Structure formats: C-alpha cells, structure tokens
Amino acid sequence: MEESVKTTVSRLLPCLVAFLGVLSSEHPANAEESVRFESTPVKLSPFRIRKALEQGDILAQPQGTPLLGYLSRPQGDGPFPAVVVMHGCDHLRLSVKELWPKRLVSWGHVVLVVDSFTTRNLKDTCRSRLPERAFDAYGALDFLSKSGFVDVRRVALMGFSAGGTVTLDATKIQGNEQFVEHKFKAAVAFYPACDANRGDPSVPTLILIGERDNWSRADRCQKSLARLSDDAPPIELNVYKDAYHDFDAPEFTAGKRVLGHIEKYDRDAAAKSIRSVYAFLRKHLAN
C-alpha cells in the first residue's frame, strides 16, 4: 500500500510542478542580472583564407557582436542545466524576459535571455531578417560554459516566433552548429517559421504552434517534419486547436493585430504548452 502511494506521488509530481509553473506565470519576476557577452564570430572559410593568401591580402580576424543578456539562476552552486532564450522580432516582451525565465528557474534551470537588438540599435525586425542571430545563441552558450555553475552538456535553446525560427536554424544538421565548440542538447521553438528545406535537426526538438496562426503556419511545420530522414533526432510537434500566434503570452489577452496577423493569448493552450516544455526539458536535459 505504501509503495503504491509513493508511485502515485512520483507520477503526479511533474504535473504538479508544471501546474505551479502555470500559476507563477501570472506573477512577473525580474531577471536577476544583466550580463554582457559577444556573439560567436563567424569563422573565415578555408576558401576565403586561400584566396586571400593567393592575392596577398590580409584578412582581419572576425569579431563577435557585443550583446546584452539577462541571467537568472536557481539557488546553489550547480552545475545546473540551462536554457538560452531567443526573443521574437518585436524584441523583449514581458513573457519572454520575465515570465518564462521565472518558470524555468523554478524547474531548476539557469536561464540566459539574449537581447539581440539593443547593441545593434534595432527596434524590431518584423519586416526583415537577422540571420546572424544564430551566432548570438552560440555566443550565449559559450558565455554559460565559462560560468562555473552551468553544465554545458545540458543546455537547451528556446525561441519565440522569429526567435523560434532562429532556434531551428541554429540546430540544423550542417548548419552553424558545425562551426562552434559547444553544442545545444535540445531545442524548443514556439511558433517558428518552418521550412521544408531546412533539413534534419541536430538535436531533439519540440515545436509548439497554434492551429489558427497564419504567421507561423502549422501546416508548414507538418510538411517539414514529413521530409525529415529516418535518422533524424526525435521532433515533437504540438498544434493547439483554435490558438493564434503568441498563445502563451498573457500580455496579448485582449488580442492584437500585427502586420495583418492576429496575436492572442490562449490560457488553455498556454497551460498545455508549459506542461509539454517541462516534460521535454526534464527528459532531454536529465543527467
């Protein structure tokens, strides 16, 4: 009887923690520390180096872009698993800068939210792209690897909207990850722009998207998954019925139209997505 009770409690505990994470999302918390680091420099290709030598040119050593970040961490010495967070094209909204970090820290993760815009003097990139943001993510990973309280073997990359697209691009086979020393262990992408030609991911990936999202369309993600090879790491796609873009963000409770697209919070979809992220990270960032 006692053993049965213990088993029941152990099964219910993850659900309870995830539920508490849903509740905590209603109470914002400030990021603990503002930090500075650099994006990972784009290495010179062997072809460019060879051509420069042939022509007698001197190539400048590539430099990283100075960046800001917001670091939050659990109490204790660690080493802890960690999550690098990439914001969307509208920069750092409340749920990305404060609500998700508070939730992730309560689950035992160090969190580094990357600010890709401030040092570049950008307000948004909703009408354009910033492909070098993948190197911002790896710069954040390198920064965490030197912290002493992060287990660099257990770091996930997590992004929202355009940051979700960056997450998929940064963790694709033969993408930018092949040029860096440290690799991410897993990836979480909220309503990214899926691309059927992106190829296989390099790590287990969780994609969360709204059924009625006409900015980041679920059918494109479904088609993208259908084209993956049999050897691809596991990818989980969660499509939430009747949900729109930014369904996890309480600041869009009233709904908003942006560049012709609806952004609207959905409490049920948000709660389900939080539980999915908790279970995914618990599985893939375990010791």
Mean pLDDT of the chain: 84
251 by Cβ neighbours in 10 Å (0-12 / 13-18 / 19+) ranks as middle
User: Residue 8 pLDDT more than 70?
Assistant: no
Say whether 6 sits in a helix, a strand or coil.
helix
Tell me the per-residue pLDDT of 193-244, one tens digit each, with 9 for 90 and over: 998 778 899 999 999 999 999 989 999 999 999 898 888 999 999 999 999 9
The rounded distance, in Å, linking the Cα atoms of 56 and 58 is 7
Kindly tell me if the per-residue pLDDT of 268 is higher than 90.
Answer: yes
Cα dihedral 209, 211, 214, 215, rounded to 10, equals -10
Q: Enumerate residues 6+ apart whose C-beta is below 8 A from 280.
A: 186, 188, 204, 206, 236
CA contacts within 13 A on the Cβ side of 277: 30
Mean pLDDT of all residues in 156-164: 96
| CA–CA dist 97, 113 (Å, integer) | 7
Map out the domains of the chain with their CATH numbers: 2-284 (3.40.50.1820)
pLDDT of residue 55: 58
Q: CA-to-CA distance for 150 and 59, rounded, in angstroms? A: 35
CA–CA separation, 281 and 278 (whole Å):
5
Residue 25, pLDDT above cutoff 80? no
Which residue intervals of the chain are DSSP H helices? 2-24, 46-55, 94, 100-106, 133-145, 162-170, 218-226, 267-284
Which pTM was predicted?
A: 0.83
Which tokens in the block code for residue 86? 């990439």
How far is residue 238's CA from residue 253's CA, in Å, rounded to a whole number?
21
**Cα separations (Å) of 89 from 124, 133, 175, 214, 246?**
5, 11, 21, 16, 12
User: Residue 12: what pLDDT?
Assistant: 45
In one-letter notation, the amino acid at residue 173 is I
